[in-house]
Amino acid sequence: MEKKPRAAAAAVGDGGGSRGEASGSSEGGGLVERLPEALLVEVLGRLEVDDACSAAASCRALHGAAAAAISAITTIDLSAFAPSNAILSRILEGNGAVRSLTVNCSLLDDSAASVIAKGSLGELSLLKCSFRMSFFMAIGERCRNLRSLKLEVADASGHPGFSTCLAPIYAGCIYLETLWMKSPLLDPHAAYYETGLPFLPSNLKELLLQPVSHSRAKTVFPRTTSLTKHISDSLESLSLVLDTITDELVMLITSNVRNLVELCLEDEPVAQPNLPEDLTNVGLQALGLCHNLRHLSLTRRYCDFRRVNDFGILMLAEGCKQLRAIRLSGFSKVSDAGYAALLHSGKDLKKFESIADSGLVSISQLPKLTLLDLAGADITDAGLSALGNGRCLISSLCLRGCRRISSNGIASLLCGTGTINKTLVSLDIGNVPRISCRAVTVIAKNCEQINSLCLRNCLLITDSSLEVLGSMGRDSNKCSLRMLDLAYCSKLSRNFLRLFEPPLFRGLRWLGVGKNVVQRRGCSPTVAELLERKPGLTICGNACDMGCRNKCHPDIRFLQ
């Protein structure tokens, strides 16, 4: 059971006793205290951590039961807010059962290792962290059973030896199978990633490096005849964010990694690459040798893969018959014929990204398709109508920048005879000029299970449609919407933040508003006032994509 505590977690272990005593003398408190403690622990153990902490403040019996329930949680996710060392200690103190821990570390220092480093941990995710060697030494010494380590670095530019700090973990965590190293810095040639790569553990099954230069990435897969076990012998999943994807790197990967099941390569070249430093049909043909490949993502931003055409895609489709998830972006020379070949080659296809309008009729009949990314595609309302009447069980749909669709298309999508209005939980319709209030109203009335909605840069959205959206689930006292992006929706009123005060948008955890809202003066309520009333809400004024993942920003209240 995944738990997402808010700052209310501080209630457990600090101040709960006095409030509990006062409440315990009341009739309600007395009734609760007569219930078996085991029953209370069982009930509170089924709640979110923040709800359990709120209950703890009501009476002495619930305070003790909440402490016992939280101490037995096996999966804790603290990514929704940034705990201090003291709050983190209250949450984790006494918990010897936690196996999966995710922490937003932006307010923590190296001393947090004393509560984070637990012998029971199998999975550890540290977001926005800037720890030093002493912290990682503690993890390596105490977390001997650690199998998954995911690091998102807050500011590696001020920490040039960061990757070498992981040596104690490599030495101590001998069962480590998953390693993620992510940094927000855009320069893949930065020195802190130019060290440490050759020393990666040989038993890794999943590796993600972001960013890394293509020349440095090649050192992970050396041409060698050594009998010593190498990372390529066990690796099954590889994700690299590079300066440039090249044929040479792709061929090195496909010839060395024998058990590759998932491959994700992304690049952002500053200019259109020249040969031989580019991906061509030769690289796609090499990928066709990976007969066990299930998930493939090849994306290029700002430029395109001008040397790949339908022939390269056909060779890929011919070799990779087991593909279940495909993401292609930047293939400007590939036509619908190439994409159709991929569609028909993968009978179990569940995810497909990058297609034109003419292919949506075929896509709509894929019963196992759950993710579809059409960002920037040349599709129309007719294509959305085909999806709305189709058989695919899409849970995540991206239509960002599809400039030819309108609110009528969204209505056709969600009011059709298909199933998408019952399965869709994530929808991105940002940067679509003809999305109006009608689209938002249709979403609110026909897609109550929606969890994440992006409306950024939709210039026709007004306060009235947000009020309808914020009222979703009021009858059932349950609202599913957790993340909402409204960055640069310029038609919203000066005081639109009032729409997010209780009881509207109950359960919302993240709101993107853009820098224009931060710079306003005299708004009511202010960002600080709204956050005071909704302590579990994060407001981003930096125009980040959903969730601000891997971003480290100052508190928005201090930017006003």
Report how many domains make up the chain. 3
| Lookup: tokens for 80 | 């929704």
Indicate the pLDDT class of residue 155, thresholds 50, 70 and 90: low
Q: Which two tokens stand for residue 246?
A: 């090249």
The amino acid at 138: A
On whether the CB atoms of residues 439 and 471 are closer than 8 A, the answer is no
Q: What is the mean pLDDT of residues 380-399?
A: 92
88, 222: one domain: no
- Report if residue 306 sits inside a domain: yes
228 lies in the same domain as 314: yes
Domain residue limits at 139: 74-198
Q: What angle do CA 98, 101, 103 make, to 5 degrees?
A: 140
pLDDT tens for each residue of 469-481: 998 876 666 678 9
Angle between helices 49-56 and 60-70 (to 10 degrees): 150
Q: Note whether 211 and 344 are same-domain residues.
A: yes
Is 247 inside a domain boundary? yes
Check whether residue 59 and residue 187 sit in a common domain.
Answer: no
User: What is the arithmetic mean of pLDDT over 319-326?
Assistant: 88
Q: Does residue 282 sit in the same domain as residue 314?
A: yes
pLDDT of res. 23: 40
Would you say residue 518 lies in a domain?
Answer: no
What is the pLDDT confidence band of residue 80, given thresholds at 50, 70 and 90?
confident
The DSSP annotation for 118-168 comes to -TT-SEEEEEEE---HHHHHHHHHH-TT--EEEEEES-GGG-TTTGGGGHH
Structure tokens at 381: 């309302």
Position with higher pLDDT, 515 vs 151: 151
Q: What pLDDT does residue 187 have?
A: 46
Would residue 467 count as lying in a domain?
A: no
- The CATH code of the domain that includes 274 is 3.80.10
Question: Is residue 531 included in any domain, yes or no?
Answer: no
Residues 137 and 56 in one domain: no
pLDDT of residue 378: 80
State the Cα–Cα distance between residues 361 and 390, nearest whole angstrom.
8
In a domain, 533, yes or no: no
| Reported confidence tier of residue 522, pLDDT bands at 50, 70, 90 | low
Residues 90 and 153 in one domain: yes
12-59 pLDDT tens trace: 544 444 443 444 444 445 788 888 888 888 888 888 776 777 788 788
Higher pLDDT: 396 or 216? It is 396
Length of the chain: 560
0.85 surpassed by pTM: no
Report if residue 295 sits inside a domain: yes
Model pLDDT, residue 337? 79
Q: Which residue is associated with the tokens 């729409």?
A: 499
Most confidently modeled range among 34-43, 141-150, 503-512 = 141-150
CB-based burial, 42-77: b 16+ in 10 Å, e otherwise = eebbebbbbbbbbbbbbbbbbbbbbbbbbbebeebb
| Token couple for 24 | 């315990």
